[in-house]
Structure 1
Amino acid sequence: MVESYQTRHSLAAPLRVDFQSLAGKRDPFAFFADLRDAGLVVPLKAPIVGRIWAATTYAATSAMLKDNALFVQESRHAGRSGVVGLSWWMPRAIKILSNNMLLKDEPDHRRLRKLVDQAFQRRLVRGMRGEIEALADRILDDMEGLEEVDLVADYARRFPLEVICWLLGLPEKNRDAFAAWAGRMTSALRGFAAIRIVFSMPGVVRYVRSQIEECRKTPREGLISELVRAEQNGDKLSEDELLSMVFLLLFAGFETTTHLITDSVIALEQHPTQKAFLFADLDARMDRATEELCRYTTPVQSTKPRYVARDCEFFGQKLQRGDNIVGLLAGANYDPAAFDEPDELKLDRLPNPHLAFGTGIHFCLGMQLARVEVQSALTRLYARYPNLELAARTTCNGSSASACAACTNCRSG
């Protein structure tokens, strides 16, 4: 599969690329354009994972995501052992949680996904919009009277966590403590802070186990009880599968949606003409605008690492069995070969085949929920604060592909 001639690369000589650089956050379009110019598939050195191949273009990333026979999740299918990025010294709790459907190949992936797909179907999620908007309004009530708020901490992070806790059926009395732990976990990006979080995991695992056990004894509203009862052709989740599934639902989309909401507000404020266009006919334009905001912000820059199942040539680059590879979703979504003027925010863009939620069998389980969440978050926020404006930008923490999103405050005038 060769798109065009490109320079041959080697994992022995990875490119020097800093995904956390301030320059890359300020101008992600130029950053990923440089990577595409370097090659369709290039070698990088990633934290924890080490040397890894990266598909940089829309065509290469899409092809990688769709070929689940050549690019596999489970190391045993590529002559390797373990899980990418998971060290031998990590607690057993971490290893249990890694046993989730995101890291499974067929047929195990299909079996696990069937048990939760029903809850995330488009019609069911859209039916939850009223409750989701009510949660947004409750958070906005708490912000009432504040002249300046932290968009991330006070709204964009709290809102999706409230939604998923409600969806799972976690008791309200535990949510503040759980939210605090989740915030610490997702902000610990590197070094000893991350290690401390790793070793605090057993306590959180015990809490989730206790919730599962309570749902076994006394079923209640929420996905935990549904998963406990779930059965497809006589196949139920094992205890460890159930535990890892709950954690996956809790965290797979939580931080992603936080960045999507934050970056969407920033994008609208930085493009007042597009913002005015959207709110001039919100009901008719919101669905298409949501897709463009997903593409433009691309809150997840790359896929999780996969293994190369056999020696091959992929888009002109020779790969060996057992190599690791990722797809750069931001590079794909900003690729001019796939999108006209990709560095422009066009809320009426059509078609818009973005890869913000991935593609292939591992496309994002919660994409329908994320769409409803960002729509609800934006409509309720601007209904309450139509004159909202960005107040300041401090130092970037490297949270997402777009410019310094997670360090912006808002004036709620």
Structure 2
Amino acid sequence: MSSTMSQQPVLLPYADPAFVADPFPLYRQLREEGPVRRAVIAGGLEAWLVTRYEDGLAALSDPRLSSDARDASDPRLLQQLPASQRESMLRTMLRADPPDHTRLRRLVSKAFTARRVAELRPRIQDIADRLLDAVVPSGRADLVADFALPLPVTVISELLGVPVTDRHDFQRWTDDMILRGAEPPDPAVVDAAWQQMRSYLTGLLAAKRSRPGDDLLSALITARDEEQRLDEDELIAMSFLLLVAGYITTVNLISGGIAALLAHPDQLQLLRDDPELLPDAIEEFLRYDGPVNPGIARFAREDVEIAGVTIPRGATVLIASAIADRDPARFPDPDRLDITRQDNAHLAFGHGIHYCLGAPLARLEGQVAIGTALRRLPGLALAVPPGELRWKPSGLRGPERLPVTFTPSRPRPGGAPGAGVTSDGPGVTDGP
């Protein structure tokens, strides 16, 4: 038996605000202590952390590690899903393995190719500018609520054909379903949120059946009704996944990237001086302090040896991308934010067959949002001391709020203050 097997699991202290604000000193210690560590993670679950880059890269492509929580021996994993819809929640691309994963991904992959996504740039730029038009006269904003959140929500809503006016409802239900912090979620709250989400999606899909649009959900309904490539549960689960995954990490990429720049004035100035660095900067924000934290869960289908440590069948394996992406064996000076960094093959979007389908869209939204904010908000600075920023406690990392000040200015001609973003702008019509 490996010595690591007999170690007591280390507790990731989500109840400690200092850890939530900056988990990286403990992450560094865990990586230095060993390549695979047992840990108690969010919700009191136990997992095996894979802490080093090369091991994490290999694990993400290892067919012995499943994405399906039904392969897990810990019953609490399934209990965190809404009881009434557990089966359909497990039938998304995120949780499916081949052959179902291959079939499901193929249905939507055309909508997220680099070429299709590049065509969205003018609309994303328009949304970013409209959002900033509403705040530039005041000289202050919360860049989460006023900018980083509504931008990707609006983009994915238009891409799918979801009324943007409904966004506050589905954001609230999503928040109720997300695992946060040390305590297990309340099953009644999770179940109620999912029932409301499912009811909403069922009604939305029924409306689209009667009046199809040139959008992604209408295209998926066609695949369901005419080609029989989706059943009804899969259609609802796919709609839910695309809607939520389409914004929930990107908001943190945008707000976390801006927060990182404000904490590193030299890098902020570098990017202001040379906006051509934006694509490299986005990759560095993803590596340095990305939205998925500490990493990506898999479940051992059989006993699996990683870096000399035997992980038992049924165990939860957490490929800790947030730890691996600061592995000094792969990234020189890994704890330094360097927006000029080259050879930046981070694991923030995963790897292998489950590599993030929306990565091109997230990258583009990050570039447009951060570039526009730097261009239109001169004198950008935090409105509170850095120590007062509150960070989301687990799973998805980013600031809860990002209060800033800047030099007030006039909105663009025609971009009146308070105009914001409505659902009557030019829609995004690229379906698969």
Whole-angstrom distance in 1 between the partners of 2:143 and 2:108: 31
Whole-angstrom distance in 2 between the partners of 1:136 and 1:183: 23
Deviation (angstroms), 1:199: 1.4
Q: Given the superposition, is the C-alpha separation of residues 110 and 346 from structure 1 closer, same or farther in structure 2, using an over 3 Å criterion? A: same
- The 8 Å contact of residues 263 and 402 in structure 1, kept in 2 or not, is answered as no
Q: What code does the residue aligned with 1:357 have? A: F
1:251 aligns with 2:244: yes
The one of 385, 395, 408 aligned to 2:402: 408
Q: Please give the residue correspondences for 1:107-256 in structure 2 after superposition, counting only pairs within 5 Å.
A: 107-182=99-174, 195-230=188-223, 234=227, 236-256=229-249
1:365 aligns with 2:357: yes
> Which runs of no fewer than 5 residues in structure 2 stay unpaired?
408-432
Whole-angstrom distance in 2 between the partners of 1:178 and 1:206: 11
Q: Given the superposition, is the C-alpha separation of residues 326 and 315 from structure 1 closer, same or farther in structure 2, using an over 3 Å criterion? A: same
SS where residue 254 of structure 2 aligns?
Answer: helix
Q: What code does the residue aligned with 1:266 have? A: A
Q: Given the superposition, is the C-alpha separation of residues 132 and 350 from structure 1 closer, same or farther in structure 2, using an over 3 Å criterion? A: same
Whole-angstrom distance in 1 between the partners of 2:4 and 2:73: 25
Whole-angstrom distance in 2 between the partners of 1:48 and 1:265: 29
Q: What code does the residue aligned with 1:226 have? A: A
TM-score, normalising length: structure 1: 0.89
Q: Given the superposition, is the C-alpha separation of residues 303 and 109 from structure 1 closer, same or farther in structure 2, using an over 3 Å criterion? A: farther
The one of 36, 39, 43 aligned to 2:31: 36
SS where residue 147 of structure 2 aligns?
Answer: helix
> Which runs of no fewer than 5 residues in structure 1 stay unpaired?
1-5
1:105 aligns with 2:100: no
1:72 aligns with 2:66: yes
Q: What code does the residue aligned with 1:410 have? A: V
More divergent stretch after superposition (153-162 vs 370-379) = 153-162
Match for residue 51 of structure 2?
A: 56
Q: Deviations over 1:154-182 (max 9, x none)?
A: 22122211111111111244334444544
The one of 389, 396, 409 aligned to 2:390: 396
SS where residue 244 of structure 1 aligns?
Answer: helix
Whole-angstrom distance in 1 between the partners of 2:291 and 2:117: 21
Say what the alpha-carbon RMSD is for the aligned residues. 2.9
Task: Give identity over the alignment, percent.
Answer: 33
Deviation (angstroms), 1:121: 0.3
- The 8 Å contact of residues 74 and 315 in structure 2, kept in 1 or not, is answered as no
Deviation (angstroms), 1:346: 1.2
- The 8 Å contact of residues 52 and 323 in structure 1, kept in 2 or not, is answered as yes
Deviation (angstroms), 1:253: 4.0
SS where residue 292 of structure 2 aligns?
Answer: coil
SS where residue 293 of structure 2 aligns?
Answer: coil
- The 8 Å contact of residues 303 and 312 in structure 2, kept in 1 or not, is answered as yes
Aligned length: 404
Q: Deviations over 1:108-130 (max 9, x none)?
A: 11111000110000111011011
Q: Deviations over 1:162-208 (max 9, x none)?
A: 11111111124433444454456559665677742431321221111
Q: Given the superposition, is the C-alpha separation of residues 395 and 136 from structure 1 closer, same or farther in structure 2, using an over 3 Å criterion? A: closer
Q: Given the superposition, is the C-alpha separation of residues 304 and 317 from structure 1 closer, same or farther in structure 2, using an over 3 Å criterion? A: same
